[in-house]
Chains A and B, each alone.
Chain A
């Protein structure tokens, strides 16, 4: 398999997309409004679809084009739209009050995690032959940032977005494997995410009906 050199136009575009995706994860970590979370997640997914498109045109892979289309349709448009319509608007969610650390603390922790991701997965540590090795630390950092958002935010909707950001990070890493994940697996992953979001929307709405506010801070019935 040909390698995506960091100096080739496609390599540069892929790296740039990776950086943008990381920045959008930071933006999400640094905001307090629910519709911003969703907006940043949507933007991140659009950039991800663009990155998949770059890889698709470089490797002339129809399969990757289809995946780029899926990403745009499901993650870039479908999920943000559904979250807005079914959760944010219906439950009138505005400002997220259930954050257990200040925004600046969150961002500093995020910076630390990014540095850690680079330490563990910098390109020199990866075997030769990984396509676009520079993207791997970026994707690892996005995974960690998403997980951090899930830990620091206790509102169920914020946790849902955090999980989706983790998912985007993994997908960014998967692009660098290009031809290796069989199509049926990629399609299955999309199906899982769509079904997962759907079932989580049901739970969040149900919880909101039962409790005053569906914040995990209030989820204290079950302990010990």
Chain B
């Protein structure tokens, strides 16, 4: 019997091999995923001279923690962060207020309007943002709304709210209608059935939608890039982009800004990891 046949016949052996391969692959993948981040961290702690050293310095350099202070005080980074947090939070709240009832209505009730609205939601998800941002840019431009946070919130909500509807609808769909029926026979009004029964039961799905919507808003580039021209409304991705394009900004500062820009993402992922995965899979 050849090695391959022997392996094929022994299920336990296959599983052991699989686990070994899994551990190796996981290790490699983690290195692949984290090396760029760690390298950026290293770069952010170097002096300007050290960043352009050739060949690059891996260790043994003077750690400049003050780079982080420098990038915080010398650039508009704090403003970018504030803008980003504000826009993301308001957009998410707005999307939830609009989207959750919408999802409930399509999921629990049948109507032609409901079907049409589902079509509308699906179409919105397929349209490339750049295409719809062309007219939006010109409309906002003539309304003098360029470079305002309000404009960006309005635009982003339009993109993210259908997304929320999609995810939350999936969550409602999987819940049994009998929950509502029994609540109604117990004397609930339709609205009470909605917010007292369905929402608490579907909370994981709603949290998934919330987390992903927030992240998408925080990280989105195009809508901010086009609709914001100055620090009043620019967010972190655009800020880092501008820093990187400016040939006078040294790489250690750019990296420091990048690292700071990652922190909210990391925080959200660590806390809400379960919901993010759920939301991704629901697609």
Q: Do A and B come from one complex?
A: no
Which residue numbers of B lie inside 8 Å of A, CB to CB?
Answer: none
Which residue numbers of A lie inside 8 Å of B, CB to CB?
Answer: none
